[in-house]
């Protein structure tokens, strides 16, 4: 099997009205939740080999906690502008490009795209992935193209359902 871990960025700040949406950083809750979720991933069998991250500041900051907790080398981190507010077409392209990369990749991005791609890829019906939600989707090793229902959701965790600190 190959795995895609899809993570919605942690809670961001709306405090500085002078910043563009792309430049918004994490707020206090985001800086608390991201390391907790990264620790959960580090303690599971679902540790990704590399990270593909939206170019937005809040996604980059969220990923930084995962890089630290998972000891991901710098060469296994890619900033991907197509994931900033990605729709289905962008997600399908990014995931399709990733099929030839590694066996387990983590993607950091934004809603509604995160919820939509999880539902579409795994044939699920999540209502709305909250900030810092983590979904692990198993994809058959011989999968040659990304398509609806090709994956299976094998783990889903949110900061509110997390039991570790």
For 16-48, write each residue's pLDDT tens digit.
889 999 999 999 999 999 999 999 999 988 889
Domain tally for the chain?
A: 1
| Domain range enclosing 83 | 2-161
Render the burial of 85-123: b for 16+ CB within 10 Å, e for the rest.
Answer: ebeeebbbebbeebeeeeebbbbbbbeebbbbbbbbbbe
Q: 87-121 pLDDT, tens per residue?
A: 999 999 999 988 877 889 999 999 999 999 999 99
Residue 121's domain is classified under what CATH number? 3.40.50.1240
């Amino acid at each position: 099997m190959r795995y895609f871990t899809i993570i919605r960025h942690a809670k961001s700040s709306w405090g500085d009205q002078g910043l563009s949406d792309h430049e918004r950083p994490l707020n206090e809750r985001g800086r608390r939740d991201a390391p907790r979720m990264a620790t959960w991933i580090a303690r599971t069998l679902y540790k990704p080999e590399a990270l593909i991250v939206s170019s937005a500041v809040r996604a980059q900051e969220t990923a930084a906690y995962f890089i630290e907790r998972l000891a991901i080398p710098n060469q296994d981190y890619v900033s991907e502008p197509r994931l900033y507010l990605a729709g289905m077409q962008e997600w399908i392209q990014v995931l399709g490009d990733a099929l030839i990369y590694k066996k387990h990749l983590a993607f950091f991005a934004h809603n509604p795209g995160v919820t939509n791609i999880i539902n579409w890829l795994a044939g699920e019906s999540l209502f709305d992935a909250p900030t810092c939600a983590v979904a692990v989707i198993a994809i058959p090793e011989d999968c040659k193209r990304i398509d609806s229902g090709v994956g299976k959701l094998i783990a889903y965790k949110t900061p509110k359902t997390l039991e570790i600190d």
